[in-house]
Amino acid sequence: MIFGAAGLGSVTQDEADAVLENILKAGINHLDTAASYGDAELRMGPWMGEHRSKFFLATKTGDRSGDAARASLERSLERLRVDQVDLIQLHNLVEEDEWEQAFAKGGAVEALQRAREEGLTRFIGVTGHGLRIPGMHLRSLERFDFDSVLFPYNGALLSDPGYRADVEALIETCTERRVALQAIKAAARRRFPSAPGEGERRLSWYEPITETEPLEHAVRFALGRSELFLITSSDWRILPGIVRAAEGFFSGTPAPSEDALREDRARHDIRPLFDGGTLERI
């Protein structure tokens, strides 16, 4: 299991320290952040001085030109207070013009290769959101030998036959090539149906599942696919429930049936976050 650190982008240092301490106690040893996650890297930086050796540390850049991607990585290293990250990822690489720029001469892929040669990172990955991303990851893997991919995986999204087929093709290819598969949005309920209420605090751009049974089902569904690493919700307030569900799974509680997932979707209004059109961009 991987801790998704987007929710640390708008918290105090004391809050971030408490969350990271709970992650350590839970035995989670992989942290996933990004240059665009607000102050998340800054909040993680002080903690890295004492605990860096205990974690696989990943970040992301949304820049597509080589110079900008290199500068982004160097800023991340400074903010995280480290000399090297374990994994640098091209963030949400899905749009055609951005894809072409990233792979062109002088683009981000070339720059990150050089950064790896210089020891600033150990691995290079690619991430994305939306229904198109498994297909785009397959295309990216044809151009470059990425070490990891990241994509949405939950029962609601996989109820779309086309998306499921693309996911299966991606899993097959990555398994054959020993490319790490990282699953996001496992605990997503839906997009927020309204603007925040007065005093409401949102730590993710989507509404997470909070009820015990459907959250346990969602976590066990993702973990039931042995090829996948599960990235936790950026809303760290549901982290204890995710950890309990994972502990239950690894203690022998099976993954839920498709019927159970369908019932959860109907009872708790769990919907796909993406639709291939108007909901593709976040």
Among candidate residues 37, 153, 163, 206, the one labeled active-site is: 37
Would you call 153 a catalytic residue per the annotation? Answer: no
Q: In 167-199, which positions are buried (b, 16+ CB within 10 angstroms) versus exposed (e)?
A: beebbebbeeeebbbbbbbbbbbbeeeeeeeee
Three-class secondary structure of residue 215 per DSSP: helix
Alpha helices, DSSP H, located in the chain: 13-26, 40-51, 66-80, 96-103, 108-117, 133-143, 155-158, 161-177, 212-223, 239-250, 258-268
Residue 214, Ramachandran bin (φ over 0: left; ψ between -120 and 50: alpha; else beta): alpha
* DSSP conformation class of 27: T
Q: How many CB atoms lie within 10 A of CB 152?
A: 23
Q: Is 207 left (phi over 0), alpha (psi -120 to 50) or beta?
A: beta
CA distance 89 to 102: 12
Residue 76 Cα distances to 19, 34, 88, 107, 208, angstroms? 20, 8, 10, 19, 28
Known catalytic residues are 37
